[in-house]
Amino acid sequence: MRIAMIGSGYVGLVSGACFAQFGHDVVCVDKEAAKIARLRQGEMPIYEPGLDKLVADNVRAGRLSFGTDLAAAVGDVDTVFIAVGTPTRRGDGHADLTYVYAAAAEIAEAIRGYTVVVTKSTVPVGTGREVARIIRETQPGAAFDVCSNPEFLREGAAIEDFMKPDRVVIGVESERAREVMSAIYRPLNLIQTPMVFTNIETAEVTKYAGNAFLATKITFINEIADLCEKVGADVHDVARGIGLDGRIGRKFLHPGPGFGGSCFPKDTLALAYTAREANAPQTIVEQVIEVNNARKRRMARKVIDFCGGSVAGLTVGVLGLTFKPNTDDMRDAPSLDIVPALQTAGARIVAFDPEGMEEAARMLPGMTFARTAYEAATDADVLVVITEWHEFRGLDPRRIRQLMRQPRIVDLRNIFNPEEMRGLGFAYEGVGRPAPRT
């Protein structure tokens, strides 16, 4: 199949490279000429494990290319995927669909034969119908179908998620379009991946419902963690105790400083807005948004209280800035709330992140960046773990203790063993874990 992927950001680039790996001919289009130039040189605009090799292999095989000319890319393809950004619109929390609708209008002018136009971007319910209307009005004689094919990619594991997904959801309403989409995903059919065919609206809602449920699960265990701290329980044992129930499951029951990233914050906001417009308010989702935002702000207070009520004049070492490990994505990361609050309280911040420091430098001014985790701990009065990068779990606590001015750790991801750390002389505080009995 011949595929055009409009948008070469996270979703578009990963999806395009994976479709090429399936054996399709794929061209990824983006208006940012500098990004396309970098991709043609083999430079990735994002950090995603394995993506550079996947792209290079498929470019070398002649199945993957990059360009800025949408009309040239779209003219003779079987399928066009819209994978442009849908950021939160300022003022009301709704998804900004400007780029989606602009892409639809350009696609309409360029398609020549029958084409399946697929929304891959995360879009509110009703977007697919509007895309179809735009194409019909722009080129009344166009032969096309519109489908919804939401992505369910986890940053840091996106290639595996694409190649071995739990399911593929496709909103489609013509047999011809269904045949095209089935052909595109034939490699996954061969390994018996569940293919969920629905109407367009159902596919659009499914994406938002899935992310909202996972965000709710995270927020739930974070509130349980707060209770555990007050009553002397251990949230990890609670999470295991409930997660072994097959109706609940163990995933997304990891306490922390609140969720962030490119999906959960904007998707919960967009779902809440869409639901209010439809007169079907999602009060649980709205509460999740409020609780999560408050939690991220409260984490700085947790550090300050641990330091005796003030961090003025103290050096705070920070481990991890991105919203999760194995990505350089800083969007809505908890660090964006925690670090400025500590700076406002008078702390000096020395931070290290394996991949996120370039982006963090633009979003978090006034910090000092360390070259290693150990350098971030050097002469620190307290060390704060914000992102659970795997390499932090392998740090030598004895060396950290020798480097720090005061051996104090606030572990917002619970990567260290409390008893071990206290046994080594650290003042230690995690999330949802009982204080030592006196």
Q: Which residues have C-beta within 8 Å of that of residue 398, sequence separation ≥ 6?
A: 424
The sheet that has 382-385: what strands, in order across it? 368-369, 348-352, 315-319, 382-385, 408-411, 427-429
Query: Nearest to residue 356, comparing CAs of 393, 319, 390, 411?
Result: 319
DSSP structure class, residue 96: -
**Does residue 296 sit in helix, strand or coil?**
helix
Does residue 28 have an active-site annotation? no
Within 8 A by CB and 6+ apart from 273, the residues are: 92, 93, 94, 95, 124
Smallest Cα–Cα separation from 405: which of 438, 380, 373?
Answer: 380
* DSSP secondary structure code for residue 75 in this structure: T
215 token code pair = 């965000």
CB 317 within 8 A of CB 342: no
CA–CA separation, 130 vs 150, rounded Å? 16
Say if residues 202 and 209 touch (Cβ distance below 8 Å): no
Integer Cα distance of 328 and 331 in angstroms: 9
Which residue is listed with tokens 């949802």? 432
Amino acid identity at 81: F
* 3-class SS shares of the chain: helix, strand, coil, % to 5: 45, 15, 40
Of residues 371, 329, 262, the one with CA closest to residue 45: 329
- The CA distances from residue 133 to 149, 157, 353, 406, in Å, are 18, 35, 45, 63
The one catalytic residue among 28, 147, 263, 307: 263
- Greatest pairwise CA separation for the chain in angstroms: 79
Contacts of 291 (CB under 8 A, 6+ apart): 219, 222, 223
Alpha helices in 139-199 (DSSP H): 158-163, 175-184, 186-190
Rg (CA), the chain: 24
The helix (H) or strand (E) run that includes residue 119 is strand 115-119
- Give me the helices (H) in 365-429, please: 373-377, 390-393, 397-403, 418-423
Residues designated as active site: 263
